[in-house]
């Protein structure tokens, strides 16, 4: 239920609740959602607050209003996700393969060590690390750095099985507008090699990714190690596909 004592406005809480229900399949594409009167009864808040929440979801393209008929679910067309595995590996996305995300290091604020390619070197950044597993096989390891000004308090948000792009869009209203990637062959050692189930001589695709936002260039930086023996990796950034 909604929390009137929360610093998050009630209309935002309701919008988040309805959006979660849409994502979880409680309301499916084309379904008519409860009327304003029914939502007032369900959530115990006034109609102006209900209207604010619905208008927000209409702007975000999760709902559409039909004059005289009501408000209906309109799931946005699928877009390339710059942050989640579903976007990084387009073949998985198209085939509907299940991806399990394992958090290796929880989100925390750190001072980034010297790395000439890391735009946060010598400064503070939020950092977390995750491993993506498909059919029991680890295929992608990511170390991710986030600008603390763009993503305040993101360390308080659970990241397990969450898409970072959804969090950026839904919680921070951020949408990347550009980016670049550097590709090399790389190798893992020690614990990271064990987690990826490779040895120190196994060549991996090593990607350094820079994501830009209208509010800040290099808002997100990540380093990825990808196993390529089973899957083709591709990424669409700024209208170009890098495979």
Q: Mean pLDDT, to the nearest integer, of 107-119?
A: 93
Residues 169, 112: one domain?
yes
Whose structure tokens read 């109609």? 47
pLDDT for 236: 52
Asked if residue 78 is part of any domain, the answer here is no
CATH number at residue 65: 1.10.10.10
Residues 50, 124: one domain?
no
Using a 10 angstrom Cβ sphere, with 0-12 exposed, 13-18 middle and 19 or more buried, the burial of residue 48 is exposed
pLDDT for 233: 59
Residues 168, 119: one domain?
yes
Residues 126, 203: one domain?
yes
Range(s) of the domain holding residue 211: 85-242
Asked if residue 205 is part of any domain, the answer here is yes
Indicate whether this model's pTM tops 0.75: no
Residues 68, 146: one domain?
no
Could you list the beta-strand ranges (E) of the chain: 63-66, 70-73, 99-111, 124-134, 137-146, 178-186, 204-212, 220-226, 235-237, 240-242
Q: Which residue has the higher pLDDT, 201 or 89?
A: 201
* CA distance linking residue 205 with residue 214, whole number of Å: 29
Residues 53, 92: one domain?
no
* CA distance linking residue 228 with residue 186, whole number of Å: 12
Q: What percentage of the chain exceeds 90 in pLDDT?
A: 50
Residues 22, 124: one domain?
no
Question: Over the chain, what is the mean pLDDT?
Answer: 84
With a cut of 80, say whether residue 33 has pLDDT above it: yes
Cα within 13 Å of Cα(210), Cβ side: 12
Using a 10 angstrom Cβ sphere, with 0-12 exposed, 13-18 middle and 19 or more buried, the burial of residue 102 is middle
Residues present in the chain in total: 243
With a cut of 50, say whether residue 79 has pLDDT above it: no
In tens, the pLDDT along 58-70 reads: 988 889 998 888 9
**Domain end (from 73, 95, 110):** 73
Residues 120, 158: one domain?
yes
CATH number at residue 150: 3.40.1410.10
Residues 206, 89: one domain?
yes
Residues 100, 215: one domain?
yes
From residue 127, give the alpha-carbon distance in Å to each of 35, 117, 167.
42, 16, 15
* CA distance linking residue 15 with residue 53, whole number of Å: 5
Q: Which residue has the higher pLDDT, 82 or 98?
A: 98
**Residue 88 tokens, joined:** 């990084």
């Amino acid at each position: 239920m909604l929390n009137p004592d929360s610093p998050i406005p009630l209309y935002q809480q309701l919008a988040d609740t309805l959006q979660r229900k849409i994502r979880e399949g409680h309301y499916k594409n084309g379904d008519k959602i409860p009327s304003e009167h029914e939502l007032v009864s369900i959530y115990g808040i006034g109609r102006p607050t209900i209207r604010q929440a619905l208008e927000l979801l209409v702007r975000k393209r999760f709902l559409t209003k039909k004059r005289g008929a009501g408000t209906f679910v309109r799931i946005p067309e699928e877009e390339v996700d710059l942050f989640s595995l579903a976007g990084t590996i387009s073949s998985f996305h198209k085939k509907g393969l299940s991806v399990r995300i394992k958090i290796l290091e929880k989100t925390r604020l750190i001072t980034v060590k010297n790395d000439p390619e890391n735009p946060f070197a010598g400064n503070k950044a939020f950092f977390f690390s995750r491993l993506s597993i498909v059919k029991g096989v680890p295929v992608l390891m990511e170390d991710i750095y986030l600008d603390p000004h763009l993503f305040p308090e993101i360390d308080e948000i659970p990241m397990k099985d969450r898409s970072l792009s959804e969090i950026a869009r839904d919680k921070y209203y951020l949408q990347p507008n550009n980016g670049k990637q550097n590709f090399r062959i790389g190798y893992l050692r020690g614990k990271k090699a064990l987690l990826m189930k490779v040895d120190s001589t196994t060549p991996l695709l090593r990607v350094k990714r820079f994501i830009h936002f209208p509010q800040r260039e290099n808002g997100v930086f990540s380093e990825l190690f990808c196993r390529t023996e089973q899957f083709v990796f591709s990424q669409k950034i700024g209208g170009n596909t890098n495979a």
